[in-house]
Amino acid sequence: MVADTPGRPTRFGLFLNPSGERRADFQSCCGEQFDRLTLADSVHAAREQLERHRIDLLIIDLNGYDSANSHDLAAIAGLVRGRVGEPVLLLCPYTNTAWIPELMASGPLQYRICPILNEELAQTIEQTLTPPLDPQAQMQQQLLDKERELRDLLTIQRSLQRALTGAEDVSAMAAQICLALCSFPGVRHTALLHMKEHGNLQLVAQEARNHLDLARLMQRHNRLLESPLNQIFPPLLAVSTGELVLLDAPEKAGDPELAVSLHDRDVRMVLALPLRSEPEGPVLGSVCLMFDRLIQFSREQFACFASLAQFIAFGLAMSELRQQNDALAGKLTQIAINDALTGASNRRQGETLLDQEIRRARRYGLPLALISFDIDNFRSVNDLYGYPIGDQALRVVAQTVRTRLRSSDVLARMRGEEFLILATHTVAIDALKLAEKLRETIAGTELPGCDTVTISLAVAQVAPEEGGQSALDRLDAALHRAKRAGRNCVELAMAS
């Protein structure tokens, strides 16, 4: 306690913290700034003081409070609510900054993030207690600041909206989001971290105005939860705690190397927000903004950041869902057009592609050759070794043939052990050579669990005015001839 300082109004203060040591430290650091300073060790004791005495400044020191204790949070919120506009200063440890917006929802307050230097604390208290020289001018300035703040947020919200609706996939969207967030005043770097399968947290996008590379800083791109900075660095901490993290001086995170790297890139403040598509849902990642200046965020700004984070999380979830749907649709199409056993096109797709290639060949005057082949005596493979080995043999034959074809060629399974090849831009003579090469290759291919097999083949070049069915009929006849000729040979289908 100190005596009245002449010339200034009396100042009564109340400091709340459960630790005797912290109360004593505060007393020795700032006691002289008050005419009477009361120290309270509990919310209950503080409430009693507030009911009994005039208090000009309530200082709530959150150091020592458990961030997970919602009971304490509710009790402290009650104190803030009871102040109805009287000054409240919150001293908040870096690991519990999520309580700042929570408590702001109960009433206006100023906050400082700890650890804080004694001089800075004393200066803050002086500023808070000193009445403005021109209250009206101050009020006007505050209104102007608020207006500018809201205008800035609105601009970001609009560009975010564009980012979320225009982007094709998650990474494009993430890049757009980072770009949009950079328009916030003082932002030098933005980043988006996204949780992929199996808890793999990845840096999906970053936008830098200060040449900072977050991947390098965190020493990796993915598996970020295994980064040495996991419990220190705001965007990682926001994911592991699921809470907002605000760091107002890089050194307060407790890692000197990190602090130097951030200072080198002009970073003075870091804000990270967890991303959840619904309030109690799992954390999908985090969004991180790095500022080149200190900003005391208002309640409205915190609320706006929270809704931006929700907006982003929702956009990411939607985009991921869209990607999954596309992948599923792709798989369904594959199932609909491919033979499940061999992976070759199925008969329907084979016929569709045959008609398509015939039309294309006709339009551009290009040759189109067809090769049909059938495994010889395949019945005996099934009879001798069983159906599963027969299946395996079919798969190997199809795969072996496919590796010998051009990517523009088509292999289709037409029935049982009979296949059709559409050899585009190919004349009969070259198709004959290809067929001979395939015959030789299959005869020399080892099959798992059974003897080698041979194939009989028929080759045809589609005539200029010929339809698909006619060409298939010609191939059928030629294949029969190949079988009759003793199998393991190639027959040319005659033009009709």
Q: What is d(CA 302, CA 484) in angstroms, rounded to the nearest whole number?
A: 84
Write down the least CB distance from residue 216 to ligand GTP, Å. Answer: 54
Copy the structure tokens of residue 74.
């509710």
Label the pairing between strands 200-208 and 245-247: unpaired
Is 105 a residue that touches ligand GTP (CB under 6 A)? no
Going from the C-alpha of 86 to that of each of 13, 118, 185, 433, the distances in angstroms are 12, 23, 30, 94
Q: What is d(CA 343, CA 400) in angstroms, rounded to the nearest whole number?
A: 12
Write down the least CB distance from residue 403 to ligand GTP, Å. Answer: 20
Q: What is d(CA 191, CA 189) in angstroms, rounded to the nearest whole number?
A: 7
Q: What three-state secondary structure class fits 331?
A: helix
- Our CA angle for 454, 458, 461, nearest 5°, is 150
Is 36 a residue that touches ligand GTP (CB under 6 A)? no
Q: What is d(CA 296, CA 157) in angstroms, rounded to the nearest whole number?
A: 20
* Contact yes or no for 97/246 (Cβ under 8 A): yes
Segment 330-369, which members bind ligand GTP (CB under 6 A)? 341
Is 394 a residue that touches ligand GTP (CB under 6 A)? yes
Is 476 a residue that touches ligand GTP (CB under 6 A)? no
Q: What is d(CA 162, CA 180) in angstroms, rounded to the nearest whole number?
A: 9
Strand ranges, E, within 305-453 = 368-375, 410-415, 418-424
Minimum CB distance to ligand GTP smaller for 196 or for 483:
483
Binding mask 295-334 for ligand GTP (x = CB under 6 A): ----------------------------------------
Is 390 a residue that touches ligand GTP (CB under 6 A)? yes
HEC string for 78-92:
HHHHHCCCCCEEEEE
Copy the structure tokens of residue 114.
């700890």
Minimum CB distance to ligand GTP smaller for 77 or for 375:
375
Q: What is d(CA 223, CA 34) in angstroms, rounded to the nearest whole number?
A: 51
Segment 226-285, which members bind ligand GTP (CB under 6 A)? none
Binding mask 409-448 for ligand GTP (x = CB under 6 A): -------xx-------------------------------
Q: What is d(CA 421, CA 350) in angstroms, rounded to the nearest whole number?
A: 9
Among 378, 412, 434, 442, binds ligand GTP (CB under 6 A): 378
Write down the least CB distance from residue 380 to ligand GTP, Å. Answer: 6
Which stretch in 181-189, 287-295, 348-356, 376-384 sits in contact with ligand GTP by CB under 6 A? 376-384
Which stretch in 4-12, 200-208, 305-313, 372-380 sits in contact with ligand GTP by CB under 6 A? 372-380
Number of residues near ligand GTP (by CB under 6 A): 16
Q: What is d(CA 414, CA 458) in angstroms, rounded to the nearest whole number?
A: 14
Is 452 a residue that touches ligand GTP (CB under 6 A)? no
Q: What is d(CA 315, CA 428) in angstroms, rounded to the nearest whole number?
A: 55
Write down the least CB distance from residue 462 to ligand GTP, Å. Answer: 24
Minimum CB distance to ligand GTP smaller for 395 or for 425:
395
Minimum CB distance to ligand GTP smaller for 338 or for 382:
382
Is 117 a residue that touches ligand GTP (CB under 6 A)? no
Among 42, 161, 377, 452, binds ligand GTP (CB under 6 A): 377
Q: What is d(CA 99, CA 241) in angstroms, rounded to the nearest whole number?
A: 13
Determine how many CB atoms are found less than 10 A away from the CB of residue 225.
14
| Residues belonging to the chain | 496
Which stretch in 292-300, 388-396, 398-406, 438-446 sits in contact with ligand GTP by CB under 6 A? 388-396
Among 391, 430, 473, 476, binds ligand GTP (CB under 6 A): 391
Minimum CB distance to ligand GTP smaller for 361 or for 396:
396
Minimum CB distance to ligand GTP smaller for 299 or for 483:
483
Going from the C-alpha of 321 to that of each of 307, 314, 315, 327, the distances in angstroms are 21, 10, 10, 10
Is 484 a residue that touches ligand GTP (CB under 6 A)? no
Is 92 a residue that touches ligand GTP (CB under 6 A)? no
Write down the least CB distance from residue 417 to ligand GTP, Å. Answer: 5
The residues that touch ligand GTP, with contacts defined as CB under 6 A, are 341, 374-379, 382, 387, 390-391, 394, 416-417, 483, 487
